[in-house]
Amino acid sequence: MTTHAINWSCTHELEVQARTLLEAKARRVHGLRFKPTFVDETFRSKVEAPIALLRARRTHWLAKQHFPGRESPALLDIGCGFGTFVLASLGLGLDARGVDMAEGEISFARNRLQETIPDHGDDRYITQRGEALPFADEQFQIVSLWMVVEHIPRWKEALAEAHRVLAPSGLLLISTPNYLATWKEPHFHIPWTPAFALLPKGLVGRYIRWLGLGGEYFDQELALVHTFNLGRFLKKLEYDVSYGHRLLFETAPKREEVEPEPTRAITVAASLARTAKRLHVSSLLTGLVGCSAWSPFARSVTFYARKKG
């Protein structure tokens, strides 16, 4: 895999472009409760995006474990937004591309790519809906949807398209808010209980409007996907949804095998896996980790699923 050193600081022009887009979206989401500090928070989470860098390192590690003979596995990030995850994945040597329906964010991602890795061209980021991907069947070894499924009203169609472009034995990586948990909702930052996810969406929309928040944004851009329904649909498509847990806890990688810069989660998982193997309880540990994904206190759920083939 060919790696690239990336300068993560944005030029003034790029930062202004990003902040303008983020302010417009924040006003739609927060309505009468909008505060200028929301723009700073979303800039850190979506543009600087330390979580995207962490996900890229984990994905790079997964790619090395699952595709050891492939130089640069092809990755598609659906709902790539400002493109930080794709950019970080390119820097780690993956053949990464991203699609998003937000033209402004795709424009920013292209401009940033040209400033950091100019030899990759403009086709790394494409403005397109996830339900109609402009790619050939089985083109990618990895497809990711990070905190995106809940923004797609026809999410089953999007996952069917992801399934179409994913190669046999490829990896499907999905994270989504757990709307069946008790927590603070991540878009509106309001108290949330599982009861809201079971109510008619129109009734929840009234609650959102009563709080002075963006009811139109809620109606048009949030699908409130239940994680149980998501898991069942993946199994219907014949994915091995426990693959990621088994990979982390049964391969028992050594510390030097997850360099460069192993994440804390991976190194802790490796240590637990080696201990579990010595005690002959690997299967029990894998099962416990799998069950933890359905905790009513988990703010989000992540699926590391493998396509059969």
pLDDT of 76 above 90: yes
Question: What does the pLDDT look like over 195-215, one tens digit per residue?
Answer: 888 899 999 999 999 999 999
Residue 63 to residue 127: CA distance in whole angstroms: 26
pLDDT at 1: 54
pLDDT at 257: 47
Which domains are seen in the chain, by residue range? 12-245+295-307 (3.40.50.150), 251-291 (no CATH)
- Give the start-end residues of each E strand in the chain: 74-78, 95-100, 125-127, 140-146, 166-177, 183-184, 191-192, 239-240, 300-307
pLDDT at 68: 86
pLDDT at 54: 85
Query: In this structure, are residues 307 and 163 in contact, taking their beta carbons and an 8 Å threshold?
Result: yes
| Bridge partners, residue 97, by sequence | 76
User: Which range scores top for mean pLDDT: 59-63, 110-114, 240-244, 291-295?
Assistant: 110-114
Going by pLDDT thresholds of 50, 70 and 90, the confidence category of residue 287 is: low
pLDDT at 64: 86
pLDDT of 285 above 80: no
| Bridge partners, residue 205, by sequence | none
Going by pLDDT thresholds of 50, 70 and 90, the confidence category of residue 260 is: very low
pLDDT at 65: 82
pLDDT at 101: 95
- For the entire predicted model, the pTM comes to 0.86
Please choose, from the candidates 126, 81, 85, 84, the residue with its C-alpha nearest in 3D space to the C-alpha of residue 105. Answer: 81
Helices (H), 117-211: 155-165, 194-198, 201-210
SS (H, E, C) 56-76: HHHHHHHHHHHCCCCCCCEEE
In this structure, of 41-50, 103-112, 261-270, the range with the lowest mean pLDDT score is 261-270
pLDDT at 51: 86
Question: What does the pLDDT look like over 4-20, one tens digit per residue?
Answer: 666 667 888 999 999 99
pLDDT of 259 above 50: no
